Structure 1
Amino acid sequence: MSAAARREFLRRSLALGAAVLFAPLSRGSSAATGKVVDVRSKGARGDGHSDDTAAIQAAIDALPAGGGTVRVPAGNYMVDASRAISLRSNVRLELAPDAQLTALPNALRRYHVIRVWRVQNVQIVGGRIVGERDQHQGDTGEWGYGINIQAARNVTVDGTHISDCWGDGMWIGAFGRGANADLSEDVTVRNVVCTNNRRQGLSVGPCKRVRILDSTFSDTHGTAPQSGIDLEPMRQGEASDLLIQGCTMTGNKGCGLEIHHSVSGVVVRQCTIRDNAGYGVLAAQMTDLWVDGNTITGNGLNGVKLAGHTRDVKVTGNTLSSNSTRSLRRSLKALASGAPGGPHAAQLQIGKNTSNVHVSGNVF
């Protein structure tokens, strides 16, 4: 890489990091200041037996067009995920710390406990969402979601614990495909835990400006890819300008974080990515990636793998150790032969078709 090319890439990477880091987390949602409706006033029981779907939806629908807050007090509220709870624009769904939305057992290939579709200015705060993977009545499909966000704008999910879904804990994506895709934009996931879900902790499809902050994605297992976070818009459309900061990805049967084609502009900063069975970070066929200041250790395959024609990458200031635990023999062979990645190939593997890769300040 020429000095001029390196300077230009560093300039663009620094600009991306600053723009995503300091972008506002909210754009004037009126959800927190409008009318307040308690789901119990609409008949929700929260007794762990009654189907409370209609009552919770009635509380949401009782809000005026200008929005407001739906409060869910402590209790276990059973939800028919074949119908789902559908949020409207300008709504804050506020769950008490001991409030839980639990999916009723079903045989569906696809379900949603909460849908955030084609709306704007939405907040989901606190509580727990529990899927029904252990009581699932079918054996096909992999798309049972705790929270599904599609074609939505200015959405925040804060402090929610999501577990035991037949598919992904969360999905952020679009309706439509390619140039016609209606993207999600300005989505913040903060202080969220996604654990023991079957397919992924969090999947991201076509979107713009997504921030994933101080969250944990752990113990995903059941059906591939089984990763903590998967940025996977693939042929559906483009995903751009994503920040993953202060997160923990651990104990997943797949990768901690995997990133595929049609993704550009990703910053992964100050995360702990450890003890996943696959790669710590896998980047395949994507552009503009900055992996900075992370601790990446104990993963079954390479700590960081840059594959395919991935280009414009910085890997800086990370601590990478004890990775490739599943492939020690291959790692020793690579070390002896001087394969790409040199003496640290087990920690950082740079594919031969990658380009414009800058590596500095890492501790191996």
Structure 2
Amino acid sequence: MNPELPGARAARGALPRRRAIASVGAVLAVSGVGALAYGRGDAASAGRDYDVREFGATGDGTTDDTAGLQQAIDAARATGGIVFFPPGTYLTRRLILYSRVHLRGSGGDATVLRLAPGANTAILESDRFEQETKSRSNAGSTMFSIRDLTLDGNRAKDNPVGFGLRLYGYGYELADLTVFNCGADGVVSDWGTAADLPAPSHQMEARITGLRTHDNGGHGINFTGPHDSMFLNCISFQNAGTGFHLAGNSYGTLMVNCHAWGIRQDVSFELAASGIGCVNCYADLAGGVGVRISRNDCRWLAGYVQGANHAGPGTEIGIQFVAGAKPEEPASATIDTQIRNCATAAIDFGADRGMSSIRATLSQPGLPGVAGTGRGWIGEPASNSQVAVTHGLSHPSKNLVVRPAFDLRAQETPDAPGEGSVRMFAREVNGATQLCVRFPDGTVRVLAGEG
């Protein structure tokens, strides 16, 4: 017999797994997604790959895997690299993330990081999170990513204040990530104000794609930076707070094809930072507010707001303007949307500070036998906002069109129109303005005049 040393057996046992990882990276590279999904490094590359099983993590759902998982992340910290999580449920306490470290699961339904009972921390948290959020610096973690896994806050197991993910940083990516069942917020992201970024940097924006967050005790997504970030195809539902809460330094962030819904969500989309843009987004509510705006220059374009037509004061409002941090806020909003079945009102103009452009088509049938439901709007728009709210052609008395986007300016009598048409114009006669119409034969009739 030729006995092997324990270290040799360990090295030999680790080799097939390392080769397997390399094979996965090669296959993905051939398919054209290796750079985005998973790829293997080597000693000559800028980073390497690290399988958490090689550091003692079991993924059996009962063993505390914190030490092994953190060792794998720490090993990738020096040069940067990919930390790979094979299928399994990894019970863990708080794990610290670093710049240039990329976490890769085997798919949201295959890799689960579950908060250990009684931990009451974040499952994943960027390095120096507490210190950086207090100092409001332009530092923080950068150029890291998390993909293809699930974060389970395990709130029923003595985790009433746990989080899924807490980040202070910029230039990071989240993709195909599910965060649920947290005692507090599902995802928290923050960063400081605009400044020169330390090198190396590829700009500050975070890029978040395919994020699903639900059944959390706070906000689904509590995003206060970095600014100018991008959300694509994200869903946030059945959270106790807001689905998408954008505030603080998240100004200029753009959301596309995002959906928020749920009877336990007070607000679907909270636009509490200036310049937030939402395109083709869907607020689906069963009580509460669909879109709440409190800052300047926010946009809700090609949107849809769907209520469940619940009765009760203040129960359902489609679009709501509320007072902002400054006396002149919110102003300069741009709204183009459909609103359906919001029992209290489709639009609450209460705090509109003006210069807004609001265009909405409504279907507000009201509740049978319940007075005051099914209203198109409550409050009044500011005097310099442009509003066109249409409650269907069969309800002209419920339509609101104020300060339309055209004027008939006073002028000399225009040329006659073509056959089968008329031409409307305004003119001044003895200092008074008249609204007139001219027919094809040259006849002019006064429809209305001053005085």
> Which band: TM-score by shorter chain?
0.7 to 0.9
2:449 corresponds in structure 1 to none
1:200 corresponds in structure 2 to 219
Residue identity opposite 2:104 in structure 1: E
Over the aligned positions, Cα root-mean-square deviation in angstroms equals: 3.4
The answer as to 2:182 corresponding to 1:160 is no
Query: How many aligned positions are there?
Result: 301
SS at 2:332 equivalent = strand
Q: Contact (CA 8 Å) 2:232, 2:258: kept in 1 or not?
A: yes
Residues 206, 215 of structure 1: CA spacing in aligned structure 2 closer, same or farther, 3 A cutoff?
Answer: closer
Q: Which has the higher contact order (CA 8 A, sep 6+)?
A: 1
Alignment partner of 1:290 out of 284, 291, 299: 299
1:99 corresponds in structure 2 to 111
Tell me, in whole angstroms, the C-alpha distance in 2 between the residues paired with 1:58 and 1:283: 44
- What pairs up with 1:84-233 in 2 under 5 angstroms? 84-97=94-107, 98-106=110-118, 108=120, 111-117=121-127, 118-136=140-158, 142=161, 144-150=162-168, 152-174=169-191, 185-221=204-240, 226-233=241-248
Tell me, in whole angstroms, the C-alpha distance in 2 between the residues paired with 1:227 and 1:91: 30
SS at 2:276 equivalent = strand
Tell me, in whole angstroms, the C-alpha distance in 2 between the residues paired with 1:240 and 1:69: 31
Residues 220, 250 of structure 1: CA spacing in aligned structure 2 closer, same or farther, 3 A cutoff?
Answer: same
Tell me, in whole angstroms, the C-alpha distance in 2 between the residues paired with 1:270 and 1:363: 21
Residues 134, 43 of structure 1: CA spacing in aligned structure 2 closer, same or farther, 3 A cutoff?
Answer: same
TM-score under structure 1 length normalisation: 0.74
Tell me, in whole angstroms, the C-alpha distance in 1 between the residues paired with 2:159 and 2:360: 50
2:266 corresponds in structure 1 to 254
Specify the structure having the higher radius of gyration (Cα): 2
Offset of residue 116 of structure 1: 2.4
Residues 246, 341 of structure 1: CA spacing in aligned structure 2 closer, same or farther, 3 A cutoff?
Answer: closer
Residues 106, 201 of structure 1: CA spacing in aligned structure 2 closer, same or farther, 3 A cutoff?
Answer: same
* CA deviation vs aligned residue, 1:84-120 (integer Å, no higher than 9, x gap): 1111111110011101000012164xx2100124211
2:405 corresponds in structure 1 to none
1:273 corresponds in structure 2 to 283
* CA deviation vs aligned residue, 1:202-256 (integer Å, no higher than 9, x gap): 01124312211101100012xxxx11011232xxxx3311111101101042110
Residue identity opposite 1:248 in structure 2: H
- Structure 2, unaligned runs of 5 or more: 1-34, 42-46, 128-139, 198-202, 309-314, 324-328, 349-357, 365-373, 393-451
Tell me, in whole angstroms, the C-alpha distance in 2 between the residues paired with 1:202 and 1:304: 20
Residues 342, 194 of structure 1: CA spacing in aligned structure 2 closer, same or farther, 3 A cutoff?
Answer: closer
SS at 1:280 equivalent = strand
* Greater strand proportion: 1
Tell me, in whole angstroms, the C-alpha distance in 1 between the residues paired with 2:282 and 2:150: 23
1:50 corresponds in structure 2 to 63
TM-score under structure 2 length normalisation: 0.60
SS at 2:73 equivalent = helix
Offset of residue 64 of structure 1: 5.4
Alignment partner of 2:88 out of 75, 83, 91: 75
Identical pairs, percent: 21
Tell me, in whole angstroms, the C-alpha distance in 2 between the residues paired with 1:67 and 1:101: 21
Residues 355, 74 of structure 1: CA spacing in aligned structure 2 closer, same or farther, 3 A cutoff?
Answer: farther
Alignment partner of 1:319 out of 289, 313, 338: 338
Residues 145, 185 of structure 1: CA spacing in aligned structure 2 closer, same or farther, 3 A cutoff?
Answer: farther
Offset of residue 361 of structure 1: 9.0
The answer as to 2:320 corresponding to 1:305 is yes
1:41 corresponds in structure 2 to 54
Residue identity opposite 1:241 in structure 2: G
SS at 2:82 equivalent = strand
The 4+ residue runs of structure 1 with deviation greater than 3 A are: 340-364
Offset of residue 66 of structure 1: 3.1
Residue identity opposite 1:106 in structure 2: G
Q: Contact (CA 8 Å) 1:313, 1:358: kept in 2 or not?
A: no
- Structure 1, unaligned runs of 5 or more: 1-27, 332-339
Q: Contact (CA 8 Å) 1:304, 1:348: kept in 2 or not?
A: no
Q: Contact (CA 8 Å) 1:315, 1:360: kept in 2 or not?
A: no
1:24 corresponds in structure 2 to none
Offset of residue 191 of structure 1: 0.3
SS at 1:203 equivalent = strand
Q: Contact (CA 8 Å) 2:208, 2:230: kept in 1 or not?
A: yes
SS at 1:106 equivalent = coil
Q: Contact (CA 8 Å) 2:51, 2:83: kept in 1 or not?
A: yes
SS at 1:288 equivalent = coil
Residues 342, 267 of structure 1: CA spacing in aligned structure 2 closer, same or farther, 3 A cutoff?
Answer: closer
SS at 1:160 equivalent = strand
Offset of residue 46 of structure 1: 0.3
Tell me, in whole angstroms, the C-alpha distance in 1 between the residues paired with 2:87 and 2:255: 31
Residue identity opposite 2:259 in structure 1: T
